[in-house]
């Protein structure tokens, strides 16, 4: 029979709904898709030009190794300067998107039967990735009423002798929460005491609002060797289609990850890597996109919150509105109503492990006209 871990995995709701929206559009149906977490902006021009230049220069061969040296050096420099993570190019692996970075980390840490704690609501792929690797996801559900704050009671009781790692994701997809200092210190102390690894997915790092900054847990020296930071350029530089991300970890963990990498990825496309070097020159463009996300957030989440029977808090980061539809029995029903009555596609909260409240995730990485249309549609049903 097929691999028992992989053959039983559930699908990815976000990917399936993105496909559904595409198919509906192709079939001529009008749909407002707020499902996929994908910037609507085009990749900054200078990045695109660099890729073309690189292709024209004949950079069309394998780029073997952990990633081209200048890119790994730039990433390490950025992590030191912006995130306080001590590292050099030796600690970096360039991956085909952040998602593969998470997989690489989890596959390299877990033995069959090892447990990894996932805090829900959580992105749809963490638990499947853990299962694919033969691990056991242990879900610790955070409370809506607490604004999904991580407290000691959300971690300690979930630790067993089999616990190997915690997976965290801040700014959070789907709740938009960023990690507070209090939570970061709690996780640090626990990881230290129980000798646990932390996989920290920081892909939405640059999409933060109200002047806030996300804390990188890998910056704490006492646990630096136990943290694998995953990041990439998809969200910050609108490069989802390029498939490029990276991991930063201790030399020891990086070597283990490279064992798997070298047999599954024969390097990342050289022209994609060369173009990604330009991301570090795009501070202005990145800030411009962030500012636009912030004004969309202000409009969209406030407008949602004003609707009858709807609750929506302002997210601190990422580009998702996490919306509670109080008149629906559960999030699946809320999503069905949204599509049937308003032609709007969102992702049901159950896909993220929120089963207590009828929450739906809407992406506001769509232009203002689309967001306004969604609000008008929703108002019609009031």
- To which residue do tokens 């991300």 refer? 245
Query: Which 65-104 positions form the footprint of ligand GLU (CB under 6 A)?
Result: 99
Residue nearest to ligand GLU (CB): 37
What is the rounded distance in angstroms from the CA atom of residue 43 to the CA atom of residue 48? 7
* Close Cβ partners of 71 (under 8 Å, ≥ 6 residues apart): 94, 273, 274, 276, 277
- Asked if residue 123 binds ligand GLU (CB under 6 A), the reply is yes
Contact 281, 46 (CB under 8 A): yes
- Asked if residue 135 binds ligand GLU (CB under 6 A), the reply is no
What is the rounded distance in angstroms from the CA atom of residue 182 to the CA atom of residue 160? 23
Cα–Cα separations (whole angstroms), residue 27 to 16, 52, 142, 324 = 16, 34, 40, 30
Q: Which of 102/107 has CB closer to ligand GLU?
A: 102
Q: At what angle do helices 368-380 and 283-306 cross, to 10 degrees?
A: 10
- What three-state secondary structure class fits 243? coil
Q: Which of 270/346 has CB closer to ligand GLU?
A: 346
Query: Which 285-324 positions form the footprint of ligand GLU (CB under 6 A)?
Result: none
Residue of the chain from 6, 11, 15, 266 that contacts ligand GLU (CB under 6 A): 15
Q: Which two tokens stand for residue 59?
A: 């950079």
Residue of the chain from 31, 37, 121, 301 that contacts ligand GLU (CB under 6 A): 37
- Asked if residue 12 binds ligand GLU (CB under 6 A), the reply is yes
- Asked if residue 36 binds ligand GLU (CB under 6 A), the reply is yes
Part of the chain binding ligand GLU (CB under 6 A), chosen from 65-73, 117-125, 157-165, 309-317:
117-125
**Least distance in Å: CB of 12 to ligand GLU?**
5
- Asked if residue 173 binds ligand GLU (CB under 6 A), the reply is yes
**Least distance in Å: CB of 315 to ligand GLU?**
14
Residue 252's H or E segment, with its range, is helix 251-264
Q: Point out which residues bind ligand GLU (CB under 6 A).
A: 12, 14-15, 36-37, 99, 123-125, 173
């Amino acid at each position: 029979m097929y691999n028992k871990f992989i053959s039983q995995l559930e699908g990815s709701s976000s990917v399936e709904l993105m496909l559904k929206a595409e198919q509906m559009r192709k079939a001529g149906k009008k749909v407002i898709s707020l499902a996929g977490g994908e910037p609507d902006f085009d990749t900054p021009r200078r990045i695109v030009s660099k890729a073309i230049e690189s292709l024209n220069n004949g950079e069309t061969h394998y780029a073997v190794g952990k990633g081209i040296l200048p890119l790994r050096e730039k990433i390490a420099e950025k992590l030191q300067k912006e995130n306080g993570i001590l590292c050099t190019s030796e600690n970096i692996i360039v991956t085909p998107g952040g998602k593969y970075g998470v997989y690489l980390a989890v596959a390299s840490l877990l033995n069959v039967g090892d447990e990894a704690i996932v805090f829900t609501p959580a992105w749809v792929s963490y638990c499947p990735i853990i299962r694919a690797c033969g691990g056991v996801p242990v879900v610790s559900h955070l409370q809506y009423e607490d604004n999904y704050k991580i407290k000691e009671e959300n971690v300690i009781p979930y630790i067993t002798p089999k616990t190997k790692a915690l997976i965290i994701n801040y700014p959070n997809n789907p709740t938009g929460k960023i990690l507070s200092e209090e939570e970061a210190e709690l996780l640090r102390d626990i990881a230290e005491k129980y000798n646990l690894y932390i996989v920290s997915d920081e892909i939405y790092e640059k999409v933060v609002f109200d002047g806030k900054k996300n804390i990188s847990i890998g910056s704490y020296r006492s646990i630096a060797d136990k943290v694998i930071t995953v990041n990439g350029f998809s969200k910050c530089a609108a490069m989802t289609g390029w498939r490029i991300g990276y991991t930063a970890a201790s030399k020891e963990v990086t070597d283990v990850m490279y064992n798997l990498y070298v047999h599954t990825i024969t390097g990342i496309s050289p022209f994609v890597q060369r173009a990604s070097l330009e991301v570090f020159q795009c501070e202005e463009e990145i800030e411009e996109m962030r500012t636009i996300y912030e004004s969309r957030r202000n409009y969209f989440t406030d407008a949602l919150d004003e609707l009858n029977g709807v609750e929506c808090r302002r997210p601190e980061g990422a580009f998702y509105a996490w919306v509670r539809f109080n008149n629906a029995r559960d999030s699946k029903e809320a999503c069905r109503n949204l599509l049937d009555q308003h032609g709007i596609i969102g992702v049901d909260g159950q896909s993220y492990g929120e089963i207590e409240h009828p929450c739906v995730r809407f992406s506001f990485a769509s232009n203002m006209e689309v967001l306004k249309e969604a609000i008008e549609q929703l108002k019609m049903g009031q």
